[in-house]
Structure 1
Amino acid sequence: MRLNNINSGLIKILVGRNLPDVHYMKDLKARSFGDRCVHVYKTFVIHPIKRRLAKYYLSILRKCFDIKVIGITGSAGKTSTKEMLSSILSLKGETIYSYANIDPVYNIPTTILKCRPSTKYLVLEMGVEYPGEMDFYLWLAKPNIAVITNINPTHLTYFKSVDNVYKEKVKLALFMEENDRVVLNREDTYLKKTIKDTRGMVTYFGKGTNVYSDKYRIKRSGSIYTLHINGKRVAVNLPIIGRHFVNNSLAAAAVAYDLGISPTDIKKGLENFIPLEHRMNIIELENNRVIIDDTYNNNPKAARETLKSFNETSKVYKNYKKGIVFGDMLELGEDSEKYHQEIGRVISGMDIGFIICVGKESNIIIEIVKKNNNFVKTYGAKDKNEAYLLLKSLLSENTLVLLKGSRSIGLDDVVEKLSQ
C-alpha cells in the first residue's frame, strides 16, 4: 500500500503533522495479515492520540511548572550524551529522559507522558533516520536547549549525502528562539558555521572553547581527564573508555553549566554515569582473555574513534595478542565501498594479529589489509555464527579483542556467548 494511493493530507492530519511518509506504512509488506491490522490500528488510532496528548500535556507543564526541555541530536554520541546529562541533572531535580534508543517517533511521546508536575528537566533524544523527521519532533516538543553532537555519514541510503544529514539535524538549532540555548561541537566542520544561522544563544564545546578537556589517559576502569569550564577545572574519572565519550561528556557539561550547575556537581554526575551495554564495555574473561564490546552501532566516524580508543587501550594490556572483529557498516548507500576502504586503511596501520570481518561489505576491508599489512591474519565470516566460531578458536590466553558492529549484524550475540 503506497501513500500516493490514498489521501496524503488526510493521513497527515490523522497520524501527525510533519511525520515522514515512510512511517505511515513502515515494513507493512513484511507483516502477516493479523500484524498488518494491528499495525494500521496503532498507526492511525493509538499513536496519533498519544502524540497529541503528549504535545498538549507538555504545553501545560511548560506554562504552569516551567519544565526545561533539552533536545539532543547528532550522528553519534546522542544516547551517551543524554545519559551523562541526565545523570548530572538528576542531582538537581527530577529528570525524565528518553529510554534506551527506541525510535524517537514513538519514544518521545511516551517519555513526555512520564513527566509529572514535579519534573524539572526533560531530556529527549531526537535521532533522525529519514528526511523530515526533525520537523515532526519540533512540532511535538520544541526544546529550550538544543544539542548537536556531530555530523557524520549516517543513514546515507535515505539522506544521500552528509550535507543532507546536516540540513536535517541542524533544524534543531535553527528552530531555537532568542531566549533558547544551542550547544554545538566546535571541532565539527559542519557545526562551526551554524552559529551564523541560529537565533539562540550558542555555547560551543571542544578545543578552542571555554568547555574542553586535557590530560586524558586511559585505565581499565575508564577514562581520566581534566574538565575545563569557563576557567574552572575539575578532574573527572569517567567510567567508560574512549576520547569520543569524553567529548560526549563535554556536551553534557556545557548544557549543565548553562543551566547553572557547578563544575563540582557536573563532575559528580559524570562519575555517577552508568555506561550502556555494547558501548566500549571491557569484559575480562578467564585466562587473561579480554573483549571490548562496542557492538551497538557502527558508522565510519564512530569506527575510526573506536579503533583509536582500542589502540590506546591496548597499551594498558601490555604483551597481549590483539585482534578485531568488524561488522559491516550499514546504510551508507553508494559511498559504502569508499568508507569501508577508509576503515581498511586505518586497520592496516594497526598493531594487531588478526581481523575477522563479518558481512559482505567488510570483505573490502580484508582486501585492503591483505594488500598493506602482511603481518595481520584475515578471516571472513558471512554471519555472526561463523564469526563466533572463528573468534572462539583465536581467543587464546592473553588476548585482547575488539568487537565493533551494528546491532543488525549480531555481534552482541557473539559477546553474550563468549561471556557465558
Structure 2
Amino acid sequence: MTLGELAAAVGGRLVKGSPEATFGGFVTDTRRLKAGDFFWALKGASFDAHDFLPNTVPLGVRGWLAREDALAVLKDLPPETVAVKDTLKALQDLAAWHRRRFNIPVVAITGSNGKSTTKEMLKSVFSAAGETCSNAGNLNNQFGLPLSLLELGPEHRFGVFELGASKRGDIREIGEVARPTCGIITNIGPSHLQYFGDLETVYETKTELAGCLAEGGRLVYNYDDRFLSRLNGRDFPKLTFGRDPGADLRVLEGEQLRLEYAGEIHAIRLPHAGGHNFLNAAAAAGAALAAGLDFGAIRKGLERYTPPPMRLQELKFGGATVVLDAYNSNPQSAASAIKQVLGMARPLYFMLGDMKELGQHSAHYHTDLGAALAHTGAERVFLAGPEMKPAVEAYMKAGGCCAVYAETLDGWLDEARALIKAGKGTFLVKASRSMKFERIVEGL
C-alpha cells in the first residue's frame, strides 16, 4: 500500500510526503513509538494522542496521521503526514477497506453472555481447517476491532471476531466495518445495564448486527431466547440453535453434547462440559455450518477446545477443585456458573464478588443472586463488594446460614485460601473483572 492509497482509503489529505511512498503499518501507542514509526493519533473518552504530537518529532518518527485541526497549529511536521477529520473514523475506514480485500468466511459474534467462549470454540473449529484470524477479548470495541481486522493476511482462510457494545449504535458502527458473512447473537441478558438502561435497548443494540451482514450473509441466533425469538418471523438467511424442538440446530438433553441437525444426531465429546457451554458450542457449530464446514470438522475442533483463562477454568489444588470464572460477571453468567458447579464434588463453596455495570438494577439482581444461593446447599458462601450487600441480606432471609461478607476481597482472602489449601470440595470463584478475584488462587 502506498501513502497515496492510504490517504484515498480513509478520505484524507496528503499534507507532506510522496504519494508513491510505501505505507507498511503504524503505531497508536506513544509508549511504543520509536524512530522510523508512522504514528496514528487517536482520541478517546479520556485521552487525545494529538497532545503528544510535538514530542514525537524528536524521536525521528516517519510520519503521522492526525486531525486537520491539530495539524493546523503545528509547524514542525514529520516527513510523511496525512490529515483527516476524524482519526478513529479513518482507522475504521482503513479496516473496512482492508477487510473487503479478503473473500473468506468472516464471523462476528455479539450477545450478553458467551461471546468470548463461542469465539474461542469457533476459532478452534476453524483452525482445524485452516489459518484463522481473531481478536483478543479486550479488542472488541471501536478501537480494537479495526486493529484486529487489519491483522487479516493472505494466509488466513477464516476470520472470527467478537463485537462488544455499551450503547445503542456500537454494534452497527463496528459491524459495518467487519461486514461479516455470518453473525452470531448468543443471547440477550442484563449485562452493562448501567449504560443500556433496559433489556429492550440491549436487544435493539445486539440485533444491529443483522443489518451489517455481507450480501447473502446468515444470522445465527439463540432460538430459546425470549427476545431473539422475535427474529423468527423475519425474512432473511438465518440458522437458529437452542434446546427448543423448533431450532434448526437442536441441543438434545443429556450429560454429553448431542446436536440434532437436518434429521441427524451428532455426538461430540466437549471438554469442560456444562449446559451453558452446550449452547455456546451449538452457536459455534451453526456458524461453521454457515461457512461450509461439515460435522467431521466441527467435531474435531470442538473436541480440542480449551477454555481461555479465568472463564470457568478448572484448577486442581490437592483434593480441591477451583472453578475460576473471574473474567467477568453478570446475572446470567453467574446463574450459569452456579448451575454448573451444583453437580460437582461436595462440599460446595461460593466465592462471589460484585456484578458491575448494572446501574439502577444492581440491588434487584444481587438480591436475586443471594436468594438463589440459599438453595444451593453450599457449605459456605463468601461475598465481597459494596454491591453484594443486598445479596447477603437476601441470602440470610431465604434461609442461608453460612455467609461471610466483606466490603473488599481482602476481608476474607486468607480464610478462603486456607479452605482451598485444606484440599476438599469445589470452589466457584466469580466476580466482575474490576474485582480481580483471580487473586484468590494466586500463589496457592
With structure 1 as the length reference, what TM-score do the two structures score? Answer: 0.83
3-state DSSP of counterpart to 1:292: strand
3-state DSSP of counterpart to 1:250: helix
CA contact (8 A) 1:226 1:234 kept: yes
Q: Which 10-residue stretch deviates more, 361-370 or 96-105?
A: 96-105
Q: Which 10-residue stretch deviates more, 66-75 or 177-186?
A: 177-186
3-state DSSP of counterpart to 1:361: helix
Determine whether 1:50 maps to 2:91: yes
Alignment of 1:154-303 (within 5 A): 154-176=191-213, 179-197=216-234, 199-207=235-243, 208=245, 209-217=247-255, 224-286=256-318, 288-303=319-334
What is the aligned counterpart of 1:348 among 369, 374, 385? 374
Deviation (angstroms), 1:102: 2.8
Q: Which residue of 2 aligns with 1:26?
A: 45
CA contact (8 A) 2:108 2:180 kept: yes
CA distance in 2 between partners of 1:196 and 1:226 (Å): 27
Deviation (angstroms), 1:235: 2.0
CA distance in 1 between partners of 2:100 and 2:248 (Å): 33
CA distance in 2 between partners of 1:241 and 1:268 (Å): 15
Q: Which residue of 2 aligns with 1:81?
A: 118
3-state DSSP of counterpart to 2:357: coil
CA distance in 1 between partners of 2:176 and 2:211 (Å): 14
Deviation (angstroms), 1:34: 7.1
1:277-312 residue CA offsets vs partner (Å, 9 max, x unmatched):
1111111102x1221111111111111111111112
Q: Which residue of 1 aligns with 2:173?
A: 136
Deviation (angstroms), 1:42: 9.2
Q: Which 10-residue stretch deviates more, 354-363 or 203-212?
A: 203-212
Amino acid at match of 1:415: V
Alignment of 1:338-377 (within 5 A): 338-374=364-400, 376-377=401-402
Q: Which residue of 1 aligns with 2:405?
A: 380
Q: Alignment length, in residue pairs?
A: 377
What is the aligned counterpart of 2:427 among 384, 392, 401? 401
CA contact (8 A) 1:86 1:123 kept: yes
Q: Give 1 or 2: higher helix fraction.
A: 1
CA distance in 2 between partners of 1:60 and 1:250 (Å): 30
Change (3 A) 1:28 1:176: closer
Change (3 A) 1:24 1:165: farther
Change (3 A) 1:25 1:262: closer
CA contact (8 A) 1:181 1:202 kept: yes
3-state DSSP of counterpart to 2:310: coil
3-state DSSP of counterpart to 1:233: strand
CA distance in 2 between partners of 1:334 and 1:390 (Å): 32
Amino acid at match of 1:210: D
Deviation (angstroms), 1:215: 4.6
Deviation (angstroms), 1:409: 0.7
3-state DSSP of counterpart to 2:190: coil
Change (3 A) 1:177 1:73: same
Change (3 A) 1:364 1:229: same
Larger Rg: 2
Amino acid at match of 1:201: P
CA contact (8 A) 1:79 1:101 kept: no
CA distance in 2 between partners of 1:165 and 1:42 (Å): 35
CA contact (8 A) 2:179 2:214 kept: no
Deviation (angstroms), 1:60: 2.3
**Amino-acid identity (%):** 27
CA distance in 2 between partners of 1:360 and 1:59 (Å): 47
CA distance in 2 between partners of 1:334 and 1:24 (Å): 30
CA distance in 1 between partners of 2:272 and 2:398 (Å): 32
CA distance in 1 between partners of 2:179 and 2:233 (Å): 20
Q: Which 10-residue stretch deviates more, 163-172 or 408-417?
A: 408-417
Q: Which residue of 1 aligns with 2:74?
A: none
CA distance in 1 between partners of 2:157 and 2:214 (Å): 21
CA distance in 2 between partners of 1:184 and 1:215 (Å): 19
Deviation (angstroms), 1:242: 1.9
Deviation (angstroms), 1:344: 1.1
Change (3 A) 1:28 1:110: closer
Deviation (angstroms), 1:122: 1.4
CA contact (8 A) 2:139 2:145 kept: no
CA distance in 2 between partners of 1:276 and 1:398 (Å): 25
Amino acid at match of 2:354: D
CA distance in 1 between partners of 2:112 and 2:216 (Å): 26
Amino acid at match of 1:202: K
Q: Which residue of 1 aligns with 2:28?
A: none
CA distance in 1 between partners of 2:137 and 2:200 (Å): 27
CA distance in 2 between partners of 1:230 and 1:384 (Å): 50
Amino acid at match of 2:296: T
Alignment of 1:144-159 (within 5 A): 144-159=181-196
Amino acid at match of 1:345: A
3-state DSSP of counterpart to 1:273: coil
Amino acid at match of 2:288: A
CA contact (8 A) 1:75 1:154 kept: yes
CA distance in 2 between partners of 1:415 and 1:334 (Å): 32
Determine whether 1:113 maps to 2:150: yes
CA contact (8 A) 1:177 1:200 kept: no
Determine whether 1:328 maps to 2:364: no
Q: Which 10-residue stretch deviates more, 232-241 or 171-180?
A: 171-180
CA distance in 2 between partners of 1:399 and 1:250 (Å): 30
With structure 2 as the length reference, what TM-score do the two structures score? Answer: 0.79
3-state DSSP of counterpart to 2:210: helix
CA contact (8 A) 1:242 1:280 kept: no
5+ long unaligned stretches in structure 1: 1-11, 15-22, 218-223
